Structure 1
Amino acid sequence: MTEELDQIQELRNRQMSICSRTSSISIIGNKPSRVLSHSLKLQHMEIQQLRITVEREIEVRQQVEEKLKQSEAEIICKIEEINHLKQENELIKKQLIDEQAKHLSITTIPDTSSTTNDDHCTSTDQFLRAVISEPSTLHVPSDKPNSNQRLTPIKNEFHDFRINSFSSPCTCHYCHNVLIGIIRQGFFCERCEVICHPDCVEKVQIPCEPSNKRRKLKQIPKTGGIRKGWNQYQILFFQTKLLFYDLSNNTNIAKLEPSLIIDLSNDTFHVCPITPEDAIHAKKKDISNIFKV
């Protein structure tokens, strides 16, 4: 800024000196030459152009300085917002940890001598009492029940239900809701492998048939097409959605989060069979079992 002001002052001094010269020439000679008058006009125009240029540069620099100040203020606001979001994130994490600890903690079971409480106890409470009274019967959770994990079966005229811990996501056969928890999420029939919530055990009225669990295992082509091979997935039906859990790494343990979710209520959802031209690398006997979604 100071350099531009000095330049303007210098131009003004030059203009004043030129004006003084012209005045002296006009005093000495009453008729200055045309050449001198023309050169003076050119110098005056040049000075005016330089002055306009300097003023424009000053104005541009002022605008740039204002923009820099605005950008600096915006950056400070964004930094404050980021710090605030970090604090909220830490608070949410702490709340989630506290909630998980509450779910995992074992609550105190009411006294069995109270007849009033016994009238309101569910089958789950009665079962938990039996479990607490015999803690030696509980062992490390597994995907399927073993001989060391078996407890007294829940009474059901159709099935032989026993408590079980599931390492992969499962849905209740009766209410079709997901079993929530880390261990002992629900009950498992050893004969037909039907799974249900503790509160749904007495409501399951379907006959006990051979297991159809393997029917829920499907295959999806790998990235690159059928010629690259297939990945195995476990399918769960939840409300109006199909949940696909990847079993490619270990067929006994699925990932906690589904790899693919398909909404059956979506208008764009459509299933159709494929033609041999659609899957040139597939075996002919498998084409009838392959569908396009």
Structure 2
Amino acid sequence: MSAEVTSMEECLRREFIEPYILEKMNPSMGFLGMFKPINLYGSTTFEQYVDEVSAEDDIKSGVLSKPEVISEESRLHEIKVSPISSIHGDTKRYGFSFRISDLKSTRENKLIEPLIRYMDAAAYSMSRMINYDFLNTMVNYAKANTITLNDGSWKTSNMISEDIVDMQEAFDIEGYNYELTDMFVGKPSWYGAKKYWKALNESFTPEDCEGSAMHKVTEYTKGLVGLDLKIKPLSFYYNINEKYSSVKGSIVNVDVFQEQASPKDHIVEMWMEYGIGVKHPKAMLWQEDV
């Protein structure tokens, strides 16, 4: 995209920078692409409602009664269920700024390529930050049952298929309609699984590993995050200031200005404000020993 920019004046316009950053973030957005962003419209807080008790749990504990035969004189039983707990969340802000002080090079358009590289690095760093936050949230809040690996590790395991089926079974909790649709593993486990299926003289199809999709991630080297992506167990909340954003669906704010005092450097600032909310902790698995 940098080849399309012919002047520093064009390169320093927010109308160029914001869509460029978003374009660079999208290919590596990872988890954000799986959850629809929700605009908070200026609020810095959000509520996440976590239902940790199923209807089956309530039936076993006696909170929820089973239906009974009724007569014309009797009344229907009132349904009582365990309350949904509410957790308060706060958004956080972070970003980058660039200072362009070489006015002679600026006038001669010598800083276009370096500025593009700065923006590339910023976009990559912001997308990685979001992925880390998603992973940390999943690891900290995951409540799905874990298993004991059959061979202790996927690096040289001969029972990866059995491990996946065991995790699917553990994910299938009575009273919840959860399914292990997607698994996210680091590179060692990813290639361990690939070698496992190759040793069986079978094709490695990561989109269908015993019925669950397997994804390779770079944010960690050991462990497995499992999700039911049919029900979207997480929500991504964000704030955007229309004064600093003009791209529909943007999650990035961009400001470009020139200092009033000498040497009147050009400043580019870009930042994000967001939070991640948990809705279904038992639809998330953290298997740390994979």
TM-score by length of 1: 0.20
Bigger relative contact order (CA 8 A; separation at least 6): 2
Q: Quick check: which one's strand share is greater?
A: 2
Instruction: Answer with 1 or 2: which has the greater Rg.
Output: 1
TM-score normalized by the length of structure 2: 0.21
Instruction: Give the number of the structure whose residues are more often helix, by fraction.
Output: 1
